[in-house]
Amino acid sequence: MTTPLLSARGLTKFYGARLGCADVSLDLHEGEVLAVVGESGSGKSTLLSLLASELEPDAGRVDYRMRDGTLRDLFALGEAERRLLLRTDWGFIRQDATQGLRMGVSAGGNVGERLMAVGARHYGNIRRTSGDWLGRVEIELDRIDDTPRQFSGGMRQRLQIARNLVSRPRLVFMDEPTSGLDVSVQARLLDLLRGLVSELGLAVVIVTHDLAVARLLSHRMMVMRQGRVIESGLTDQVLDDPREPYSQLLVSSVIAA
């Protein structure tokens, strides 16, 4: 479809006198991965929270194309409608997996809850599908009744991926999904994410400070600095031939490292 799945215009957010982000606009289509990059304090996390309607903007709007084809202003939706979107049509993979999982609920239960949110009711089918998805994210089936407290950081992230993707959402938000993990664990997780995003045809907005993550996962990139988008384009174009001095500095710092 030519109509974007998600469309933002003029998003602006202040925290008192401090600017969170200013006049950000973007379109995201189904199957497209957009990386938002920048150093700490650049506004990328604020933008992600606005797009996911977890924060309300001081100016601007976000429209989402519902499954029936209608465009809805996210901030005109009721709270219950927004929560339903997040449980069914959207996923949100958070940097800290403890914020995206129910830590006292089994691994199978974490995945099964999403299935119940989209109407599954047969316990045997829910458990079987949960087990299948644990396998897809490389968690052994004999861990299905263990809680996330018994998992390593990398396993928690993989469980969070399974919990979010089992309902086959159309749009997934990712907030630094590999940050804080060992390099070998990061590589394995990124490979898993890339495969699932491609297989399921997901639309993704990923926030990261890691340009290698952006290159591996995204089609397009936006570079943010001090709350503003200073450069955007195809990921390879931005990384291989950045126009803005700040973008050049980001890329050169990675090369030097």
pLDDT tens readout for residues 24-55: 999 999 999 999 999 889 999 999 999 999 99
pTM of the model: 0.93
Q: What's the pLDDT tens digit per position in 211-241? A: 989 999 999 999 999 999 999 999 999 999 9
Instruction: Supply 104's token pair.
Output: 């006292």
The CATH code of the domain at 6-89+169-256 is 3.40.50.300
* SS3 state of residue 77: coil
Tell me the domain boundaries of the chain.
6-89+169-256, 103-168
**pLDDT in the model for residue 254:** 63
Q: Which helix (H) or strand (E) holds 203?
A: strand 203-208
Q: What is the mean pLDDT of residues 136-154?
A: 95
**pLDDT in the model for residue 147:** 97
**pLDDT in the model for residue 257:** 41
Q: Is the pLDDT of residue 121 over 50?
A: yes
Between 62 and 88, whose confidence is greater? 62
Q: What is the mean pLDDT of residues 4-11?
A: 97
